[in-house]
Chain A
Amino acid sequence: MITAERKPLEELLGYIAPYSRILLLGCNECVTVCAAGGRKEVGLLASALKMAARKSGKELQIVEHTLERQCDPEYVEEVASMVAQADAVVSMACGCGVQQMAMRYAKPVFPALNTKFMGGSERQGVWDERCAGCGNCLLGVTGGICPIARCAKRLMNGPCGGSANGVCEITPDVPCAWHLIWERLEELGQTEDYLEIIPAKDWKTAQGGGPRKIIREDLAE
């Protein structure tokens, strides 16, 4: 899941300062699940923006809407009439959704969220980073724990010298990924995997090779 957090109100107010009719658009996928841009957050932000604007003597007209998914053109198409009646769009989707909107409509589209990472939920209200989308998954040999997404230094072969008592030297409330990997391998009786040297990572499959694209030929028209 893609996780995101709302931008400070002040930044958003800056974007929309010239406009008075706003379409505030949520997304019912990842950002709903991570409590950043679903129907509920749209409602809260609408209230907040209206009040903040009113403080400076301006009455905002905000239309609230939440799409099933903002990163698909068909869904985005649904709001054409709403966009037509708005001066600007504030999107509460992740970066993908914002771009989808911006591509489709000629009106200004502003992001309401900072898109953060691909993560999982630890428990209610807590998400942590799990995947860096490197394009060449190593989890099969690292006991199901990713040293790229979860190690600050993206080390491939064991912890750095700063790992102590199982925690990362950079962020002490984060566990050392390699410590976790070792514990997990021990638990699975696969410590021999650890001895295997993982060759230097080819970052071409990751963003290092430029923007990526997936084409499923059987599906693509």
Chain B
Amino acid sequence: MKSIYEYYAKWIREGKLKVSSDWNKERKVKFTIQDPCQIVRKTFGDPIADDLRYVIGKVVGEENIIEMTPNKSNNYCCGGGGGFLQSGFTEARRAYGKVKFDQIMETGADYCITGCHNCHAQVHDIGHHFGGHYSTVHIWTLICLSLGVLGPNERAYLGDDLKDVNVFHPESEH
């Protein structure tokens, strides 16, 4: 049982994934990271969070990461886990997520990178609900973006600012 973050980092270190953050050199789009409780605190601890940061740093540029506080193993759960999303206690879930929302807003980042579906859905939802301006994005989307292989149809969660960046086979849009 392994987390794929470890391999993302490994592959980048080994040069198998030739990622580049050049696309963001000028743009300076800012990213923050939601560490998934399940993978970081509950399973692999800070080393996996460091791998995740290594990957994201290579992909968007280290200088464009703005950390939430707290983070890594001591991160604050977004409130998507444990079945909360499906439990029907929507109001409580959003109240729970308000702290996370504030933390994201505090960073001023344009994007919150999430590594897990629960987080993605919750972070996306609270952003929407509390009127945040950030987008919520999977890490794989950004890896492909930085590899220059992200097609037009794979950008559902990118904001308008990145919709047209490095588009791979723009003609394939449907």
The short answer to whether A and B are in direct contact, CB under 8 Å, is: no
